[in-house]
Amino acid sequence: MRLHRNLVFAVIDGLNEIFNEGAYADKVVQKLLKRDKRWGSRDRSFVAETVYDIVRWKRLYSEIADISEHYSRENLWKIFAVWATLRGITLPDWKQIAPTPTRRIKGRFDELSKIRKFRESIPDWMDELGEKELGSKWEKEIAALNEQAPVILRANLLKISRDKLRGILEDENIDTEFIKGYSSALQLTERANVFSTEAFKKGFFEVQDASSQLVAEFLDVKPGQRVVDTCAGAGGKTLHLAALMENKGQVIAMDIYSNKLKELKRRARRAGAHNIEPRTIESTKDIKKLHNKADRVLIDAPCSGLGVLSRNPDAKWKLQPEFLDKIKQTQSEILESYAKMVKPGGKLVYATCSILPSENQDQVKAFLTKEIGKDFTFVKDKKVLSSESGFDGFYMALLERK
């Protein structure tokens, strides 16, 4: 593989923004890909994948390159040299790249690969927490979360069947396969830009991980019901709920961020989902108005996001232990407050994209001992681990109000 100067410079600039300016990797990559109109798809995928790769293995590569936290441009070039060497890429004779000690890099890699926190490139605290909460499962789980996430589509059943969508995508040179046990999902056999397809523009599908697709189905919605999605965000699960309800009834999509709900409106238009009503949560009054009024309530709670590290590798470096304590408090408050919207006989799903029992089973157990929680019975839950499913780590619990 021959390295091209303008592509490598783009990678270095991107890493500088992510490591030194606290920018989010996905936003940086989006911006980088628009940098040069002459780049072909191979150039763009080199930039995106190299940036994500180096972000994912930041700790391991820094350790090999013997770099402490300050990522000067010189240090970023050293990390890039480690990345290239471990991939067997011959480094060009550029002034930015110092003579690279190939043998030492490979020796250090072998040595550090024996220690999990370096091998899996994670902060000490995260390694300790994972082991404490998941025990022997942590080893396999963190390895799975370091794999690149597959691209999964959800057929929008309001407009098209999954089989028909597969055929249409094939005509656009995008090959997909069915996933056993996931009724609306298609997995890409190789990565491609699905957003430029006619099928996407016509609202025939959304990009949504397979584990995430289980959540709306878990809520057991029926056409004609009133359903509240309390932390709707940009609405991946909201749109799925609308489809499962065949556009009949009402999905109230709530969030504290109105800009996310704007994006949901746009997506709902494209998907042809007419039964969604976005509502910004401005105060507790907005919740109180709905007390005892919903047949179904979905709480897709804010969480550590540890189940989606393969999709957001920079979360490994942005996440802090203090945030975890705070978010658990938030989860508990949200569950207690939003559960009051469920009417007697109605159902509630509490879900997170975390793999930690302290954010999942423990939260549900604690809720069931509280005043409002005593009105509910636990029906069932589902724990999805990346190492077992090949998809995102997720948790969902179904509760019924007496």
Mean pLDDT by 10 residues, the chain (402 residues): 94 97 95 94 94 98 90 95 95 88 95 98 98 98 96 98 97 96 96 94 98 98 98 96 98 96 97 97 96 98 97 95 97 98 98 98 98 97 98 98 98
The letter for the amino acid at 242 is A
Q: Which pLDDT does position 94 carry in this prediction?
A: 92
Choose the catalytic residue: 353, 364, 384, 399.
Answer: 353
Sign of CA dihedral 74, 77, 82, 88: negative
pLDDT tens digits for range 281-302: 999 999 999 999 999 999 999 9
Q: Do 391 and 371 contact (CB within 8 A), yes or no?
A: no
The letter for the amino acid at 47 is V
pLDDT tens digits for range 248-263: 999 999 999 999 999 9
Q: Which pLDDT does position 1 carry in this prediction?
A: 84
Model-level pTM? Answer: 0.95
Q: Looking at domain 210-401, which of 2.40.50.100, 3.40.50.11540, 3.40.50.150, 3.40.50.300 is its CATH number? A: 3.40.50.150
- Cα distances from 109 to residues 44, 62, 97, 235, 389, in angstroms, run 28, 11, 20, 42, 29
Backbone angles phi, psi at 144, to 5 degrees: -65, -35
Q: Which pLDDT does position 174 carry in this prediction?
A: 96
Cite the annotated binding site by residue number.
Answer: 255, 300
Q: Which pLDDT does position 17 carry in this prediction?
A: 97
Residues of the chain with CATH 3.30.70.1170: 152-207
Q: Which pLDDT does position 258 carry in this prediction?
A: 95
Report DSSP letters for 324-374, one per residue. Answer: HHHHHHHHHHHHHHHGGGEEEEEEEEEEES---GGGTHHHHHHHHTSTGGG
Residues of the chain with CATH 3.40.50.150: 210-401
Distance CA 305, CA 352 (A): 8
Fold for the domain defined by 152-207: Alpha-Beta Plaits (3.30.70)
Q: Which pLDDT does position 99 carry in this prediction?
A: 83
Tell me which long-range contacts 260-267 makes (C-beta under 8 A, separation of at least 24).
260/232, 260/233, 260/234, 260/235, 261/232, 261/235, 263/234, 263/235, 264/232, 264/233, 264/234, 264/235, 264/238, 264/239, 267/206, 267/234, 267/235, 267/239
Q: Which pLDDT does position 145 carry in this prediction?
A: 98
353 is catalytic: yes
Q: Which pLDDT does position 100 carry in this prediction?
A: 84
The letter for the amino acid at 314 is D
Under DSSP, the state recorded for 195 is G
Q: Which pLDDT does position 68 carry in this prediction?
A: 82
Cite the annotated binding site for S-adenosyl-L-methionine by residue number.
Answer: 255, 300
